[in-house]
Every structure is written in structure tokens, then in C-alpha cells.
Amino acid sequence: MTHTSLTAVDWLIMLLYFVFVLGIGFALKRYMKTSKDFFQAGRALPAWICGLAFISANLGAQEVIGMGASGAKYGLATSHFYWIGAIPAMIFVGIFMMPFYYGSKARSVPEFLRLRFDEKTRALNACSFAVMTVFSSGISMYAMARLIQTLHVFDSIFLSAGLPLGYIFHLSIILSAIIVLGYIFLGGLTSAIYNEVLQFFLIIAGFLPLVLIGLRNVGGWSGLKASLPSAYTHSWQGMTHANTNPLGVEWFGLAMGLGFVLSFGYWCTDFLVIQTAMATDTQENARRVPLIAAIPKMFFPFLVILPGLLAIAATTPKEVTTQRVEANGAIVHTITFPTEAEAKGKGLVPAKTDPLTGKIVLDASGHPLLDYDLAIPSMLLHYFPTGILGLGLTALLASFMSGMAGNVTAFNTVWTYDLYQSYIHKGGTDKHYLAMGRWATVGGIILSMATAYAATGFNNIMHHRGPPASRPDPAHRSPPRPPRRLDPRHSQLPQRHGPELLDRHLGLLHQLHCLHPGQPHGQTQTRVRARRPRPLPDPKTRDGPSAVVAPPRSPGRPADRHGSNSEHHLPLESAVFSDL
């Protein structure tokens, strides 16, 4: 990828964004008087603010980079992760689950699990969730640093100062950590929510022009359909069989696996997003938060998936000859050559290069593999002029910081309430827990930085991912390679931030398809008798956080004794994912 040339206007836009997010933290510091103010935003925010923050907390690297990459690789069928994998579950959590979460007066999902089940369930969920949030925040930090390296944003500054370009990675990690730590340490969850609302509008302002310019370049929607296979511009075409669509999953596995298992497991139990709804002032507003967030969520495929299709459909870069006339009348011809990765790519998606050798990575058939993670960054650099380029890069950075901030605020709440207060220091003053929350924020940022540096030891963050979905064409798969250590001096986005995590989800959907009812495939059926959970007191007869009524169950169905995993990011890091 060619070097990014930023002007003073672009730098000014990014600088104003950083100053503004830190300014929000300083402005809210004087309102952080109790632990409830810091961890729960005082439960006093309006529904529309929390609704936009609810969706923005999920707009991390997995949404922007990963969904754009998945759109370029799998086509418009990726939109099912929104319309099937998000919207129904968001409506369900708003209508049915939020009254239990908010009405129980629980301060976190692990605390609600203690009220619903027992202390052991709470401890297990709190520990696993705290570890997961640190890993997720660190990987977002790592991905942002790699992206900055790949875009060569700071190259000119480092070269003029005589510093090695490998230090750009360290600067990006430290800079992002300081900014996120600053406004969360000062303003707590309230600061994170208001900044997530700002980031929501920034992402729209940065990516909407990208979609419009890209559509105009390819000749509108009709030109896009003419440039791509028909399966890439339809959501349901070919879903009757796994071999007739790019996803490699048929409709039943998609609806059951994604529509129920993955989506409800994430949206109904993930404290990362639930905490924004619990920050509202009333229970009715808490129910409205996911419903408000579901409205813009329906349209986000056009902002984050469509750019991936436009990048594939665009013209592949070629030699460009420009002519200019000097002051003395001399005519100067300048020929611009694309890089090898750009020339061997498809559209604006460059070919993948090996981070150690710099050579093009080939598949089993000898064809170059495409680096889908660079679909949206390539679009930004190709189409945006001065000023708008700075806005687009700021929106990209805001998406990464939004995911980091959401994970850090969830971590400090779970650590302070569910681990520190419950098992380490019981009976402390509110002022003590407020101070612990701030120090937990510092600790979470430091652990995230350690995770980001640990991620450099893998050439594929999803090295231990599950089996990928079956593919009818071997060219759709990457050839297996042994793990190799990344050199921090090279620029390469992690594979988790892209289609790799989507492959993991598709693998799960394919396995669910293989376990279609009536086709056990030789699996022995085992009957498990679920124990009935202990009843909880009626809130009318008991005060305090433990006053909660067990959620209703369908007649004849035993209650599930096992707590759900509180975090499962969808692609990318997706988890999903994960945020997968």
C-alpha cells in the first residue's frame, strides 16, 4: 500500500477529536462523587443517549474492519449477522430481559447470576468475563496499531526525526492507551457513553461519503451488480444448500445457529452492551435502549459491508501517467506504478503479503490470496481527498477506541463489584470502591497493553480457532501454515480482525447444520436431567439487590442451570469479534 499523505487539515481533525474526548472526561470529573456515578453513570441518563451508546459499544474493530472484509469475501450475505444475528436478539433483550436486569437492582450481569443461581456461578462468570474483556481490549489496541503501521500515517514524522519506523507500533499502543485511560479514569461510564455517542456520529460522517463515492465510481447499484457474481449481491440467493452460496451455510444452520445460539448468547448476556442500558433513569427507558439501538443497526450493513463489495468491484490500480507544465514551459510526465500487492489484488483489495518475507502469499492453486482486512482502509485512501481523509481516518480510529473503552468500563465494574468487593475487601466505604474502580481502570489498560504485545507473537490470532465451514471450492480457503513470530517492524493486520473469525462462526453454523433434527450422524443421544434452581424471594417481601424474581419458563421445560458465556464477539473480533 502506498504511503498516506496527510495535510494539516487532516491532522487538525484528528487532533480536535482527541482533545474533545479528553475534554468530556474533564467536564464530567466533578460529577463522579460516588461509585454509582462512576460505574453506573448514576442511572440517570436518557434512553436515546444510552441507545446510541448501546450500538456504538458494538462498533469496534469487528464491525468496521471485519465486516467490511467479510463483505468483500462473502458478499451481501454477511448482512445476516445484522438482520438475523442481531436485530431479533436486541428486540428480545429489550422487551423480556431488561426488566429482570434493571428491576433486580443488580449492578452487573455476574451479580444478577448470583441472584438467579448462586455465588459460584457469579464467581465463574466474573472471572471469565474479566479475562475476556482484557483480551478483547488488547486485541483492539493491537489491531489499531497495526492499521496505523499499514497506512503509514506517521512514517513522514518518524523519518524526518530519524526514528525507526518500528517505533510507530509502540507509539500507537501508548497513545491509544493514554487517551482511553484519560477519559474513563476521569468520567467513568458516563464519559465512555458520551464518547461512544460521539463516535457513532463520527463513523456515520466518515463512512457515508465513502459509500456514496464508491457507488458513483462503479456506476451505482446496477453497476455493482454487473461487476460481481449474482450470489454476492443477494442475501438469500443460494441458501437452500451450503454449496451454492459464498458463506457455505444453508438456511437452517444460519437461522438456528446464528439467529439463536450466537446472537442471543451475545446480546442477552454480554455486560459490555448491557451496562449501557442499565445506565438509564427508569426501567421503561432501559427496555427502550435496545429497541432504539436496533433501528440504526438495521442500516449499518450499508455502511460497513457495502464498502467491502465496492472495494472488490472497483478497478484494480494500474500505471497512471500525469502531465504537468513547469514555469519554464517544460512538460514533465510522471508515471505512478502500483505496488506488487495492489497490482496482484482484486479491485482495491490488495494481495496478502507475508509479514516476514514481504512476498505475495499464494493459495493451493498458486493464485494470490487477498488481504480483505485492507478493503475499507484502501477505499479511504483511494477516494477521500484532503480533509475528508482525516475525517475518515478519525472515524476508523474512533471505532477502535469505542471497543476498547467499552471493554475497560465493563472490566472495572466487574472487578470492583463482583471480585474485589465480594471476595477481597468486604465492607469497605463507597469512597474506597470508587478509588478502586479508578485503579482498576489503570490496571485494565496496562493488562490490555500487555495483551496487545503478546498478540505480536502470533501470525494469526485465531491460531486456535474452531474448524472452518466447508467450502465447495478449495480456492476459498487459505493454505495451512505453521505459526511464525511476527516482526513488529512489519505491518500486518491480525487475521482475527477480518474473515478468520467469521470462518469460526460459519464452522459452528455448519456443525449445527450437520446436527439437523432427525439426522444425528451417529451421535449417541444422552438425556440430561436439569436440576431446578433454588427459588428466590419475592421483591415485595425483601429489599436490596437480592430482590429478584426468577424469569418465567415455558411449561414442561426444565430451567437451564448453566450460565451463558457473557461475551461472544461477532466478526470481527467478533466476537464478533469479539468483538467476534
pLDDT tens digits along 564-580? 333 333 333 333 333 33
pLDDT at 528 over 90: no
CB of 143 within 8 A of CB of 497? yes
**Cβ atoms within 10 Å, residue 310:** 29
Backbone torsion region of residue 575, taken as left when φ is above 0, otherwise alpha when ψ lies between -120 and 50, otherwise beta: left
Alpha helices (H) in 117-165, listed in sequence order: 119-151, 155-161
pLDDT at 295 over 90: yes
**What is the model's pLDDT at position 356?**
67
Domains of the chain are 8-316+374-480+494-521 (1.20.1730.10)
**What is the model's pLDDT at position 288?**
95
pLDDT in tens, 362-418: 888 888 888 888 888 889 888 888 778 888 888 888 888 888 899 999 999 999 999
Rounded to the nearest integer, the mean pLDDT of the chain is 78
* d(C-alpha 341, C-alpha 429), whole Å: 59
What percentage of the chain carries pLDDT values higher than 70? 75
How buried is 435 (Cβ within 10 angstroms: 0-12 exposed, 13-18 middle, 19+ buried)? Answer: middle
pLDDT at 321 over 50: yes
Sign of CA dihedral 302, 303, 304, 310: positive
Identify which of 168, 149, 157 has the alpha carbon closest to the alpha carbon of residue 6: 157
How many angstroms separate the Cα of 288 from the Cα of each of 46, 219, 367? 10, 40, 50
How buried is 225 (Cβ within 10 angstroms: 0-12 exposed, 13-18 middle, 19+ buried)? Answer: middle
pLDDT at 235 over 60: yes
CB of 405 within 8 A of CB of 192? yes
Q: How, if at all, do strands 331-336 and 320-325 pair? A: antiparallel
Read off the C-alpha cell for 519. 439426522
User: Which has the higher per-residue pLDDT, 192 or 522?
Assistant: 192
CB of 110 within 8 A of CB of 129? yes
- Would you call 323 helix, strand, or coil by DSSP? strand
* d(C-alpha 198, C-alpha 196), whole Å: 5
* Partner residues linked to 349 by β-bridges: 346
* Partner residues linked to 334 by β-bridges: 322
CB of 548 within 8 A of CB of 104? yes
How many angstroms separate the Cα of 98 from the Cα of each of 40, 105, 359, 534? 15, 11, 52, 22
Burial of 184-208, coded b for 16+ CB within 10 Å and e otherwise, reads bbbbbbbbbbbbbbbbbebbeebbe
Least confident range from 165-179, 206-220, 473-487: namely 473-487
Least confident range from 35-44, 273-282, 538-547: namely 538-547
Residue that the C-alpha cell 465510481 belongs to = 217
Q: What angle separates helix 67-74 from helix 306-313, to the nearest 10 degrees?
A: 50
Taking the mean position of all CA atoms in its chain, how far away is CA 259? 18
How buried is 366 (Cβ within 10 angstroms: 0-12 exposed, 13-18 middle, 19+ buried)? Answer: exposed
**What is the model's pLDDT at position 542?**
40
Average pLDDT over residues 275-288: 94
* d(C-alpha 61, C-alpha 64), whole Å: 5
* d(C-alpha 452, C-alpha 141), whole Å: 6
Least confident range from 79-83, 231-235, 281-285, 453-457: namely 453-457
Average pLDDT over residues 182-194: 94
Q: Which amino acid is at 348?
A: L
Residue that the C-alpha cell 499464494 belongs to = 362
Using pLDDT thresholds of 50, 70 and 90, give the confidence band for residue 299.
very high
**What is the model's pLDDT at position 4?**
61
What percentage of the chain carries pLDDT values higher than 90? 40
Using pLDDT thresholds of 50, 70 and 90, give the confidence band for residue 126.
very high
Read off the C-alpha cell for 465. 480457532
List CB contacts of 221: < 8 A, sequence separation 6 or more. Answer: 215
* Partner residues linked to 368 by β-bridges: 362
Identify which of 249, 227, 406 has the alpha carbon closest to the alpha carbon of residue 309: 227
pLDDT in tens, 63-91: 788 889 999 999 999 999 999 999 999 99
Average pLDDT over residues 486-496: 39
CB of 112 within 8 A of CB of 546? no
